[in-house]
A and B are shown apart, each in its own frame.
Chain A
Amino acid sequence: MITSTAAKVKVDPRDAKLSMAHFFVAFSALALGGLMGLLQTLVRSGKWELPWGIDYYQILTVHGVLMGLVLTTFFIMGFQYAAVSRTTGGHSSAARRAGWIGFWVMLVGTLMAATMVLLKEASVLYTFYAPLKAHWIFYLGLTFVIVGSWIDGAAQIMTYARWRKNNPGQPSPLLSFMAVINTVMWIVATLGVAATVLFQLLPWSLGLVDTVDVLVSRTLFWYFGHPLVYFWLLPAYMCWYAIIPKIIGGKIFSDSLARLSFILFLLFSIPVGFHHQLTEPGIDPAWKFFQVILTFMVVIPSLMTAFSLFATFERYGRSKGATGLFGWFRVLPWGDARFIVPFIGMAAFIPAGAGGIINASNQMDQVVHNTIWITGHFHLTAATSVVLTFFGISYWLVPHLTGRRLTKAMNKLAIIQAWVWFIGMVFMSGSMHIQGLLGGPRRSAFSTYGGSEQAAEWIPYQIAQAVGGTILFLGIILVLIIFVNLAFFAPKGEEEFPVAEAENPEEKAPMVFENWKLWLGITAALILFAYTIPFIDIIQNAPPGSKGFQTWSKW
Chain B
Amino acid sequence: MHMHKLEKIWLIFGISCLVIFLTVVGVSAFYLGNKPPSCLTTVNPETVGQEKPFNEPGLHKVDGKAWDYELVYVASAFSYTPAQVEVPLGAKVKVIATTKDVIHGFEVAGTNINMMLEPGYISEYTTTFDKAGEFLIVCNEYCGAGHHLMFSKIEVVK
Contact = CB atoms under 8 A, between A and B. Distances in A.
B is a partner of A: yes
Interface residues of A, number: 79
Interface string B1-33: 111101100110011001001100110111000
Given A256-B1, A279-B37, A281-B116, A55 B145 contact: yes
B43 to A, nearest CB: 6
A289 B29 contact: yes
B4 A369 contact: no
B141 A542 contact: no
Interface stretch (B54-62, B67-75, B86-94, B101-109): B101-109
A546 interface: yes
A166 interface: no
B152 to A, nearest CB: 9
A282 B38 CA distance: 6
Contacts of B103: 129, 131-132, 214
With most chain A CB atoms within 10 A of its CB, the pick from B3, B101, B117, B140 is: B140
A322 B107 CA distance: 53
Nearest to A504: B2
Interface string A291-319: 01100100110011001100100000000
B118 A282 contact: yes
Interface stretch (A77-85, A111-119, A360-368, A396-404): A360-368
A57 B29 contact: no
B128 interface: no
A450 B153 contact: yes
With most chain B CB atoms within 10 A of its CB, the pick from A60, A218, A279, A440 is: A279
Given A279-B36, A441-B140, A446 B151 contact: no
Contact of A449 (B1, B110, B136, B142): B136
Contacts of A383: none
Given A361-B21, A363-B35, A281 B136 contact: no
Contact of B45 (A283, A300, A370, A543): A543
A281 B37 contact: yes
Nearest to A132: B102
A553 interface: yes
B50 interface: no
A214 B119 contact: yes
Given A285-B35, A455-B136, A361 B25 contact: yes
A364 B26 CA distance: 11
Interface in B118-158: 118-124, 134-136, 138-149, 151, 153
Nearest to A131: B102
Contacts of B109: 438-440, 454-455
A452 B134 contact: yes
Contact of A131 (B119, B138, B140): B119
B95 interface: no
A281 B40 CA distance: 6
A524 interface: no
B140 A292 contact: no
Given A285-B36, A370-B107, A444-B147, A364 B25 contact: yes
A97 to B, nearest CB: 38
B140 A370 contact: yes
A551 B43 contact: no
B18 A454 contact: no
Interface string A519-555: 0000000000000000000000111111001011100
A453 B109 CA distance: 11
A430 B34 CA distance: 29
A3 B97 CA distance: 65
B148 to A, nearest CB: 4
A132 B123 CA distance: 20
A363 B34 contact: yes
Given A300-B14, A363-B29, A369-B114, A125 B142 contact: yes
24 contacts: A55-B145, A125-B142, A129-B102, A129-B142, A131-B102, A132-B144, A256-B2, A280-B115, A281-B41, A292-B22, A296-B21, A300-B11, A308-B7, A357-B21, A362-B29, A363-B28, A363-B35, A367-B112, A438-B110, A441-B138, A447-B148, A452-B136, A509-B1, A544-B45
Given A289-B30, A366-B112, A541-B40, 18 more contacts: A55-B145, A214-B103, A260-B1, A281-B122, A283-B38, A300-B15, A300-B18, A367-B112, A369-B114, A369-B140, A371-B114, A443-B147, A450-B153, A452-B136, A454-B134, A541-B42, A543-B119, A546-B120
Interface of B: 1-4, 6-7, 10-11, 14-15, 18, 21-22, 25-26, 28-30, 34-46, 77-78, 101-103, 105, 107, 109-124, 134-136, 138-149, 151, 153
By Cβ-Cβ distance, the 8 closest A-B pairs, closest first, are: A551-B144, A543-B120, A439-B109, A441-B140, A543-B42, A370-B140, A281-B121, A447-B148
